[in-house]
Amino acid sequence: MRVRKLLDSFNYAFEGIIYALKTQRNMKIHFIVTVFVLVASLFFNFSKVEIILLLLTITLVLIAEMINTSIESTIDLITDQYNIFAKIAKNVAAGAVLIAALNAVVVAYLIFFHRLNPYTHMVLTRVRQSPIHITFIAFLVVIFITIGLKAYFGKGTAMQGGMPSGHAAISFALATSITFISENMFIGTLSLLMALLVCQSRIETRIHNVYEILVGAVIGIIVTVIFFQFFS
């Protein structure tokens, strides 16, 4: 029962993310920029501190936007009449998002500018070749693509049902990464078999159909293969 409640809490949280992504224009922009920044990070030899700053900045912007959405929805639920205090609450929440976004611009400027400087343009040809880094970024991109497609199709929830299967996408992304990193067909085959078992469990419990599983698996494999082919 406790495990079920825990899974439900995660499911509700992902539903909130999908709702914000599906209904809020700015949230869509933030997601697109997030994917772009994560991919761009592969071209620069960032330090661990810089990567942490990027992730914290991205997280701050997304959290601020979701809190703003929550405040707006709550106010709209309470009253549909003009109220000066409702206006103030919405404006302050929007101001918080603006501050977070401006902070993100400053952080991006400080981290990226000197690398884009004409005197250091050769940095653009360098690629982050760490398999762990590539796997991490590919994993995040797969998650963002999966959530975006679930929001687009509007079927199921983030962790249960819907198009495509997030479990299939993530399991096959990890299996593909393990295959590339290990460079061992036996280990790679075992990883793919584990991914297939995950997919089988989703079909047997009727959470997903074969088509949703197939699309999720293809997304996980293709995204990961592209990252390892171009960035390793």
pLDDT at 122 over 50: no
- Looking up residue 12, the CATH number of its domain turns out to be 1.10.287.3610
Q: Please, is 176 exposed, middle or buried when counting C-beta atoms within 10 Å of its C-beta (0-12, 13-18, 19+)?
A: buried
**Per-residue model confidence (pLDDT) at position 112:** 78
pTM confidence score: 0.56
Shared domain check, 131 and 112: no
Look at residue 163 and tell me if it is in a domain.
Answer: yes
Look at residue 1 and tell me if it is in a domain.
Answer: no
Mean pLDDT confidence for 108-131: 57
pLDDT at 118 over 60: no
Q: Which among 94, 116, 138 is the end of a domain?
A: 116
Mean pLDDT confidence for 93-104: 89
Shared domain check, 143 and 195: yes
For 121-139, give the DSSP string. Answer: GGGGG-----HHHHHHHHH
Shared domain check, 39 and 18: yes
The DSSP 8-state label assigned to residue 161 in this structure reads S
**Per-residue model confidence (pLDDT) at position 40:** 78
Shared domain check, 76 and 145: no
pLDDT at 43 over 90: no
Look at residue 2 and tell me if it is in a domain.
Answer: no
Cα distance between residue 84 and residue 186, in whole Å: 66
Token digits of residue 121: 């343009």
Token pair 């933030």: residue: 30
Query: Position 171: which residue type?
Result: S
Residue 219 neighbours by CB under 8 Å, 6+ apart: 142, 145, 146, 149, 164, 169
Cα distance between residue 9 and residue 159, in whole Å: 10
Confidence of residue 63 (pLDDT cuts 50, 70, 90): very high
Q: Which among 116, 146, 165 is the end of a domain?
A: 116
Token digits of residue 208: 């997903």
Shared domain check, 56 and 91: yes
Look at residue 102 and tell me if it is in a domain.
Answer: yes
| Structural domain of 151 | 125-231
Shared domain check, 50 and 81: yes
Q: Which among 116, 144, 159 is the end of a domain?
A: 116
Cα distance between residue 218 and residue 192, in whole Å: 13
Look at residue 183 and tell me if it is in a domain.
Answer: yes
Token pair 């793919």: residue: 192
Shared domain check, 190 and 143: yes
Domain count, the chain: 2
Shared domain check, 141 and 225: yes
Is 65 assigned to a binding site? yes
Alpha helices in the chain (DSSP H): 2-23, 25-40, 48-78, 84-116, 131-153, 166-182, 185-204, 210-231
Look at residue 196 and tell me if it is in a domain.
Answer: yes
Mean pLDDT confidence for 50-77: 90
Averaged pLDDT of the chain: 79
Look at residue 93 and tell me if it is in a domain.
Answer: yes
Least confident of 4-18, 113-127, 136-150, 177-191: 113-127
Look at residue 73 and tell me if it is in a domain.
Answer: yes
Shared domain check, 204 and 155: yes
Shared domain check, 101 and 198: no
Is 12 assigned to a binding site? yes
Mean pLDDT confidence for 65-83: 87
Confidence of residue 117 (pLDDT cuts 50, 70, 90): low
Cα distance between residue 141 and residue 146, in whole Å: 8
Which residues are part of the catalytic machinery? 65
Shared domain check, 95 and 17: yes
Cα distance between residue 172 and residue 198, in whole Å: 9
**Per-residue model confidence (pLDDT) at position 158:** 57
Shared domain check, 100 and 169: no
Using a pLDDT cut of 90, give the percent of the chain over it. Answer: 7
